Amino acid sequence: MLSEVNYLLFNGVLLVSFVACAVYLVFFFSQKEHLRKVARIIFLTSGVLQTLYILSRYLIAGYTPITSQHEAVTFFAWSVTWAYLSFHWRYSVRNFGTFVSILVLIMLVIAAFASRAFNPLAPALQSMWLPVHAGVSVMAYGFLALAFCGGLMYLLQERELKSKRFGFFFNRLPSLESLDQLNSHCLTIGFVFLTLGIISGSVWARQAWGTYWHWDPKETWSLITWFLYAAQIHQRMTAGWRGKRAAVMTIIGFCSVVFTLWGVTFLLGGVHSYAR
């Protein structure tokens, strides 16, 4: 019974996210204000359904559902969605939702293709640290994904302004200043979570494997990602790195995040690769 609900819930999430994305796109093209409200409500519904889906998986599995490929990506989409919704509560950046909803939809589609089977939990993962470490890390990825969307938008808008050829995006995208602020804001939050994720992981590693750090590929790549973001934040604070350079760095950083999440698992292996 519960597993059927679970199955239907995911299809519901997929459908609602698709509709949200579609309405956002129609809004993006037509710029009809009332559509934006509609899109936001649908996107919020998608966020609620995602939460319910993850809860239902938790109830069935009895542990935090973040260990399989499907679960990790769904969790990622969930964190992007809620990072956006929480962000939106404070700021409003023109047409940001369109980009975010596309990203979320892509993730959910990837999750849909992965196996939804429940795998028994590996002994090393049976710990209170699982939700803490994985949850915090995925929250970090959520905010970093938002920064990535903002960076893309910045590059698009900057190109129009520099080339002086005003096409499709010029009117639809917000000002450079607001995109740069978005970037800095999301990056700061994301970086704090990322740091906490690495620290909690290292403490857990000490308990589970006996050492704080043992250069597992995933650990190494997390560290590389961390350094990429740390360098960028440092440069922003000291040398005033901003604008295009910051946007490019954000995009590179996010590529590193994506590689840490998938590339490492499939290409490099290592003790972290449970979710194969």
Partner 1 sequence: MPGEMILLLGVNHKKTPLEVREKLALSSGYDEPLEALGKIEGIKEYYLLSTCNRVEILVSVHDGADVQHALSRFLFGDALSPEEFDKYLYCYHNAEAVHHLFMVAASLDSMIVGESQILGQLKEAYRHSAEKKSTGPILNRLLHKSFSVAKRVRSETQIGSSAVSISYAAIELAKKIFGSIENKRVLLIGAGEMAELAAEHLVGNGAKDVVVCNRTLERALDLAKRFNGSAVGLDELHEQLEYVDIIVSSTGAPGVILQRDEVKPIMRERRNKPLFFIDIAVPRDLDPGLNDLENVYLYDIDDLNNVVELNKAERDKEAIKASRIVDEEALKFKDWLAGLGITPTIAALREKGNQVMQLELERTLPRLKNLTVKEQKSVEKMASAIVSRMLHDPMIFLKSENCKDQSAMKVDVFRSVFALEKKE
Check residue 234 for interaction with partner 1 (CB under 8 A). Answer: no
Phi-psi region of 248 (alpha: psi -120 to 50; beta: other; left: phi over 0): alpha
Q: What is the per-residue binding string for partner 1 in 125-164, x denoting contact by CB under 8 A? A: --------------------------------x---xx-x
Check residue 244 for interaction with partner 1 (CB under 8 A). Answer: yes
Stretch that binds partner 1, among 117-125, 170-178, 193-201, 261-269 (CB under 8 A): 170-178
Stretch that binds partner 1, among 36-44, 83-91, 125-133, 233-241 (CB under 8 A): 233-241
Which pairs with CB-CB distance under 8 Å and at least 24 residues apart come from 32-36? 36/97
Q: How far apart, in whole angstroms, are the C-alpha atoms of residue 147 and residue 246?
A: 10
Nearest-approach distance from CB 183 to partner 1, in angstroms: 13
Check residue 172 for interaction with partner 1 (CB under 8 A). Answer: no
Q: Which of 64, 74, 95, 178 binds partner 1 (CB under 8 A)?
A: 178
Check residue 248 for interaction with partner 1 (CB under 8 A). Answer: no
Q: What angle do CA 15, 17, 18 make, to 5 degrees?
A: 65
**CB proximity list for 236: less than 8 A, separation 6 or greater:** 184, 242, 246
Total site size for partner 1, rule CB under 8 A: 18
Nearest to 68 by CA among 17, 146, 10, 19: 10
Q: How far apart, in whole angstroms, are the C-alpha atoms of residue 124 and residue 194?
A: 22
Q: How far apart, in whole angstroms, are the C-alpha atoms of residue 197 and residue 257?
A: 13
Nearest-approach distance from CB 161 to partner 1, in angstroms: 6
Q: Which of 241, 259, 262, 274 binds partner 1 (CB under 8 A)?
A: 241
Check residue 41 for interaction with partner 1 (CB under 8 A). Answer: no
Q: Which of 4, 215, 240, 276 binds partner 1 (CB under 8 A)?
A: 240
Nearest-approach distance from CB 142 to partner 1, in angstroms: 25
> Of 61 and 176, which has the nearer Cβ to partner 1?
176
Q: What angle do CA 258, 262, 267 make, to 5 degrees?
A: 125
DSSP letters, 135-174, are HHHHHHHHHHHHHHHHHHHHHHHHHHHHHT---HHHHHS-
Q: What is the per-residue binding string for partner 1 in 43-82, x denoting contact by CB under 8 A? A: ----------------------------------------
> Of 127 and 181, which has the nearer Cβ to partner 1?
181
What six digits make up the tokens of 231? Answer: 């360098």
Are 120 and 46 contacting, i.e. CB atoms less than 8 angstroms apart? Answer: no
Using CB under 8 A, list all residues that contact partner 1: 157, 161-162, 164, 166, 170, 174-178, 239-245
